[in-house]
Amino acid sequence: MEIEYKNIKVIGFDADDTLWVNETYFRDAELELAKLLSPYETANKIDQELFKKEVDNLPLYGYGIKGFVLSMVESALEISNNTISNATIYKILEIGKDMLSKPVDLLEGVEEVLHTLSKDFRLIVVTKGDLLDQERKLEKSGLLDYFHHIEILSDKKEANYSKLLNHLDIKPSEFLMIGNSLKSDIIPLVNIKAKAIHVPFHTTWIHEQVHENETQNKNYNTVENLLDIIPLLSRKKSGTTVKND
Amino acid sequence: MEIEYKNIKVIGFDADDTLWVNETYFRDAELELAKLLSPYETANKIDQELFKKEVDNLPLYGYGIKGFVLSMVESALEISNNTISNATIYKILEIGKDMLSKPVDLLEGVEEVLHTLSKDFRLIVVTKGDLLDQERKLEKSGLLDYFHHIEILSDKKEANYSKLLNHLDIKPSEFLMIGNSLKSDIIPLVNIKAKAIHVPFHTTWIHEQVHENETQNKNYNTVENLLDIIPLLSRKKSGTTVKND
């Protein structure tokens, strides 16, 4: 089955782990937390408890670093059975501030892809992170001028994307989403008849992982490198159709 | 000098303390923190330290409850000179979760104003709070259907509003902002030649307060009650001009 991209008007880019490194910093933070809490529990158990806490808190805190830090503090209190030192709690707050101050490490090909696509399409950033944090990264990245604006979604489910398309005043077939998360950037789009291209990142948060059967019979392309998107979307080619995998 | 509203196409409503009670919950949280830290400092000093911490952390945390909670935890560590109990830190996290679960208490006239204005204008919510928290409140409020969408700004300065107008594809003279904060909802709009109507709330966070000279010679209307906006914007009247104060 072939995928047509010729009606696309707007391309949405996921930001974290699609444009720049992000998940790696969360994994690093988890390692630091495990080190701080090593007198109380094994690293594996600490990871599990933190993940459980994050998922429990998601309805209240949503995504992003600040909620992650609050969940780390809460986990530290519980894992230590309320014996953690104030100094350690302070260090956890510092882990969060460090994450919010990280340099922006662009992924391969980002600049070239945005430069090329911005000539033919309206590009936007579509993220469920924290707006201030995403704006900070976009400014640091030097990519700001390629994007018309940033769309922050509280979650990346079908209803959120439908609302976005309504807001953008375009049909699903005119929207293409590019991102690293099957669960957040690809499957909901395909389900509402929009287009999506999957660009995997080497690390995926367990909350974003999907079972194989969720992607069966779904119609989207996967590329290994962001640069592989350019030939898929080239307007110069006659008949912009390609085979999906 | 009279203010013309006849070109308005889109009306932006601030959310917190314009549509519903918010600042009151922050004041309540500060009182609770002062009580928890009363063995260490006076309430007045605790308020001052927390405010200083919030302002210091604003560039990293931005606005909203999660950053506020992180600043409360950090202040508690410092004010107690690292002798605060884990139980107290847990209580501070709980204060934050309570704030994020508060019922939505609509201000007087909100429903009637939105019902009336939504017939003639595109209404949007423009806030610098946390998206998830604002969506939660909008859903709880039952006001969701009156709004085309929510715009989250990382800050409410002139540049943020200019970007918003660009994104909405309208001229400044076609945009009216309604809100309770002179600093965030009124002055930047007037400065970029958009319209603004000030609806004061009884409590204003000290960070949002402005000096009198910042509002001198600024051209905007102030109304005591949200309902007073309706006659200002009525399309039925011939010549929708009114005197400002």
In this structure, are B84 and B131 located in the same domain?
A: no
Report which of residues A139 and B238 the model is more confident about.
A139
What's the pLDDT score for residue B1?
A: 55
Which candidate in A74, A124, A154 is best for mutational testing of the B interface (most B CBs within 10 A)? A154
Same domain, B160 and B199: yes
The CATH number for B36's domain is 1.10.150.240
Residue A236: per-residue pLDDT? 53
Question: So what's the pLDDT on residue A216?
Answer: 75
Write the pLDDT tens digit of every residue in B12-25.
Answer: 999 999 999 999 99
Q: What pLDDT, on the 0 to 100 scale, is given for residue A156?
A: 95
**Do A196 and A226 form a contact (C-beta atoms < 8 A)?**
no
Cα angle for residues B146, B147, B148 (degrees, 5° grid): 130
A224 Cα to chain B: minimum distance (Å): 32
Q: Is B93–A73 a contact, with Cβ atoms under 8 angstroms apart? A: yes
Is B243 a residue whose pLDDT tops 70? no
In degrees and rounded to multiples of 5, residue B16 shows phi and psi of: -65, 125
Read off the CATH number of the domain in which B14 is found. 3.40.50.1000
Who among B86, B100, B131 is closest to A77 (CB)? B86
Shared domain for B92 and B111, answered yes or no, is: no
Q: A55: which 2 tokens?
A: 């998922």
Contact B222, B195 (CB under 8 A): no
Residues B137 and B204 in one domain: yes
Using the predicted structure, report yes or no on whether residue B166 has a pLDDT greater than 70: yes
Predicted TM-score (pTM) of this structure: 0.87
Same domain, residue pair A122 and A156: yes
Q: Are residues A232 and A126 in the same domain?
A: yes
Residues A122 and A16 in one domain: yes
Tens of pLDDT, residue by residue over B101-117, are 999 999 999 999 999 99
Low-confidence residues in chain A, pLDDT < 50: 237-245
Structural domain total, chain A: 2
Token output for A78: 């519980």
Q: Do B97 and A60 touch (CB under 8 A)?
A: yes
Chain A residues near residue B82 by CB distance under 8 angstroms: 85-87, 90
CB contact under 8 A, A90 and B70: no
Q: B194 and B135 in one domain?
A: yes
Q: What is the mean pLDDT of residues B209-213?
A: 77
- B128 with B216, same domain? yes
Please say which residue of B37, B72, B100 terminates a domain.
B100
Compute CA distances A148 → A66, B148, B159, B184, whole Å.
Answer: 26, 19, 14, 23
Beta strands in chain A (DSSP E): 2-4, 10-13, 122-127, 149-152, 175-179, 195-198, 221-222, 241-243
Considering the domain architecture, whether residues B40 and B73 belong to the same structural domain is answered as: yes
- Domain containing residue A162: 2-20+104-243
CA-to-CA distance for B114 and B111, rounded, in angstroms? 5
User: What does the pLDDT look like over A1-13, one tens digit per residue?
Assistant: 578 898 999 999 9
- Based on the domain organization, do B42 and B125 belong to the same domain? no
Rounded to the nearest angstrom, the minimum Cα separation between B121 and chain A is 15
CB A42 within 8 A of CB A16: no
Q: Give the pLDDT of residue B159.
A: 95
Mean pLDDT of B54-77: 96
Q: Which residue of B has its CA nearest to A87?
A: B82
> Distance between CA A21 and CA A115 in Å, rounded?
19
Give the whole-angstrom CA distance, residue B63 versus residue B70: 12
CB contact under 8 A, A154 and B131: yes
B131 and B231 assigned to the same domain:
yes
Alpha-carbon distance A223 to nearest alpha carbon in chain B (angstroms): 30
Spatial distance between the Cα atoms of A145 and A194, rounded to a whole number of angstroms: 25
Among A82, A100, A118, give the residue marking a domain's end.
Answer: A100
pLDDT of residue A32: 98
Mean pLDDT of B194-222: 84
Task: Give the end of a domain, one of A84, A100, A116.
Answer: A100
Could you tell me if B87 lies within 8 Å of chain A, comparing CB atoms?
A: yes
